[in-house]
Amino acid sequence: MGIKQGGIVGLVAASVVVMLAGCSGVGDGSAPDPNSVKDFDKIGGTSLLGTDKRYTVYTCLPETLQYGISYTNGGGRENFSNRAKWTSNRPDILYVSNVGDLAVPAANDPETGKPLYFQVGGRLVPLQAGEAEITADFYGIKLTKTYKVENPEGLRVQAVGAFKPDTKSVKLAHSTVMNALLSGKVNGTEIDLGFAIDKWAFDTPDETVAKLEAASVVGVNVRALEKTTAAGAEMRLRPLLQACPQSNALLSKAYLDVGVAAATGLIVDREFDTMPNGNVLAVVDPTKSKTGLSSELLRVWTTFDAARTERELDVSSLSILNSPQSFLYAKSSNTDVILPGAGARPSGILAVNTAKAETGVTPPETSAPVTIDFCLSAAPPPDDPATPDVNESTTAPITCRAAQADPLTFYVKKKTLQSIDVTPTSPAALVALLSLQFRATGTYTDGSQQDLTRHVNWTSSQPLKATIVNGVIAGAGLLRSLYVDNVDENSTTPELEQRTVKVTADIDTATVTKTREVTVILDK
């Protein structure tokens, strides 16, 4: 079986092909203006890589060109892609579609068996490295551009969350879910290539072992079931591309071997390699701060070795992967002090107080120890309600039906925030489509520090060119560059100023706003 990544873009069965008629003008006497034709627009695909690669496409990665023509009399610009006649002087290198053309490569509708046809004009299908001239002709208004076809590098299937990021084989615990995606390098940048995929499939499917499910964002979800795979009998997962046969050498390493077994245990890691304040979480006195919390997204790994020391797959995000049949439980021994489930993750913890507020009793400066237990289970533990609740509190140990982690102990201490710092302070130029993780650290009056990345307010001075994530969630403080062009030709602003983004982190206290600003230069 297989699961569609999004379908073959621009293809329909023969019975529903519609040919669009041409037109030579509109009722007000205006007509398409030949002098307005300057270039094709590349839509989607690798179009965000920048104008320096405007005339480069990549083998196996289909693209779409748009043929825009403006009207005489200053009328608007219209897309004539489906009404123009498209040709390639080297269709063996770079094929270009017209509405009604048979699909290239040839493909049939999986339901009816009928051949598929293109329903869009200007669809580029790069078949091999080389050069080709692409021409669009609308009633004599003609434009020709030369495109270079290059091979993408390092096409591979990534197991998202694998401890070894470049692994070709991954093991899943029963009833857990993993996200997989296809990536590759184009123009030196590794990007998600989901736009090139027709569907995902196992070479030898067995739905008693694992099945494929649609992913909410990118790639495909692999759900492990109850049957265990024998050693050497892993299931090979492959992406089937729209524009490439599976025999293409570029796809020789684009696979992932998936095994299923019972996990022997869980390993829980702190969110960062170095935690500035050990196992003490800060909570600011509410009379001195509007933002008095601190949180951490712990990382929970499955293990399959007897010693429970070898990390395999990060299962911290099972709830995000919409996995109703697999439960990762985080249990706090005192939810009045530390609340589990922060950031929409079972592994997240949030410091809320040093003790439950009792009438006439002042909470202590430092809490009693709070124990956090983790359990990976194929069903709710017996002492839990039928519906899992990561915020459910119990003082009794978790009864696991699957893997369990050694408990962690934390303390919560009242503190007064003195300042915040943001790192990196002088980041290198941020390339289009890439991201940069900022981290905010608070320093308190007692000299201690705490990560506050999810509790400051992040802003970007140019949100249309670079966006930054806010909230008590994974990815907070992550700046993603959307910048493409080197310069806006219609702007009088100096080019460097257009590419400069100021990233600001601030946090409110009762008396003053603590603020830090970092400058980032965007690049193509």
Mean pLDDT (whole number) for 292-306? 87
pLDDT given for residue 380 in this prediction: 52
pLDDT given for residue 390 in this prediction: 39
CB 5 within 8 A of CB 182: no
DSSP assignment, residue 230? Answer: P
Residue type, 56: T
Who contacts 94 (Cβ-Cβ below 8 Å, separation ≥6)? 57, 88, 124, 125, 126, 127, 130, 132, 134, 147, 149
Would the pLDDT of 133 be above 90?
yes
Which residue, among 101, 146, 151, has the nearest Cα to 126 in the 3D structure? 151
pLDDT given for residue 483 in this prediction: 60
Range list of H helices, 302-393: none
Mean pLDDT (whole number) for 69-88? 90
pLDDT given for residue 385 in this prediction: 42
**Hey, which of 268-282, 389-403, 483-497 has the most confident mean pLDDT?**
268-282
Helix (H) or strand (E) holding 498: helix 495-498
Coil, helix or strand at residue 393: coil
Which residue, among 267, 40, 252, has the nearest Cα to 136 in the 3D structure? 40
Question: pTM score, two decimals?
Answer: 0.81
Terminal Cα distance for the chain, rounded:
40
pLDDT given for residue 391 in this prediction: 36
Q: Token pair of 261, please?
A: 């077994």
pLDDT given for residue 144 in this prediction: 97
Q: Higher pLDDT residue, 483 or 506?
A: 506
Would the pLDDT of 103 be above 70?
yes
Percentage of the chain beyond pLDDT 70 is 79
pLDDT given for residue 170 in this prediction: 96
Q: Token pair of 222, please?
A: 């692999």
Give the model confidence (pLDDT) of 247-275 as tens digits. Answer: 889 999 999 999 999 999 999 998 877 77
Would the pLDDT of 26 be above 50?
no
Q: Token pair of 395, please?
A: 């003082």
Least confident of 141-150, 323-332, 334-343: 323-332
> How confident is the prediction for the chain on average, in pLDDT?
81
> Distance (Å, rounded) from C-alpha 213 to C-alpha 237?
13
Going through 8-67 in order, the beta strands assigned E by DSSP cover: 11-13, 41-43, 56-58, 63-66
pLDDT given for residue 214 in this prediction: 87
Give the model confidence (pLDDT) of 192-245 as tens digits. Answer: 898 899 899 999 999 999 999 988 778 899 999 889 998 888 999 999 998 888
Who contacts 316 (Cβ-Cβ below 8 Å, separation ≥6)? 161, 297, 298, 299, 300, 328, 345, 346, 347
Would the pLDDT of 387 be above 90?
no
Name the strands in the sheet holding 417-423, side by side, starting at the edge strand that comes first in the sequence.
Answer: 417-423, 439-444, 449-451
Residue type, 443: T
CB 428 within 8 A of CB 519: no
The per-residue b/e assignment along 154-193, b for 16 or more CB within 10 angstroms, e otherwise, is ebbbbbbbbbeeebeebbbbbbbbbbbbbbbebbebbbbb
pLDDT given for residue 384 in this prediction: 46
Angle at 44 between CA 467 and CA 148, to 5 degrees: 120
Q: Tell me how far CA of residue 68 lies from CA of 41, 142, 229, 415, in angstroms.
A: 8, 11, 54, 61
pLDDT given for residue 135 in this prediction: 98
Would the pLDDT of 318 be above 80?
no
Beta bridge partners of residue 338, listed in sequence order: 351
The band of 473, judged by pLDDT with boundaries at 50, 70 and 90, is low
Coil, helix or strand at residue 98: coil
> Distance (Å, rounded) from C-alpha 351 to C-alpha 342?
10
Would the pLDDT of 396 be above 90?
no
Least confident of 200-209, 376-385, 475-484: 376-385
pLDDT given for residue 20 in this prediction: 32
Mean pLDDT (whole number) for 50-59? 80
Mind giving me the DSSP string for 262-313?
---EEEEE-SSSS-TTTTEEEEE-TTTBS---EEEE-EEEEE-STTS--EEE
Give the model confidence (pLDDT) of 339-366 as tens digits. Answer: 887 766 778 888 888 888 777 778 888 9
Least confident of 55-59, 176-180, 377-381: 377-381
Who contacts 252 (Cβ-Cβ below 8 Å, separation ≥6)? none
> Distance (Å, rounded) from C-alpha 315 to C-alpha 164?
14
- Where residue 83 falls (left for φ over 0; alpha for ψ -120 to 50; beta otherwise) is alpha
pLDDT given for residue 268 in this prediction: 93
pLDDT given for residue 282 in this prediction: 83
The band of 57, judged by pLDDT with boundaries at 50, 70 and 90, is very high
CA 433 to chain centre: 11
pLDDT given for residue 373 in this prediction: 87
Q: Token pair of 384, please?
A: 């839990």
> Distance (Å, rounded) from C-alpha 258 to C-alpha 203?
11
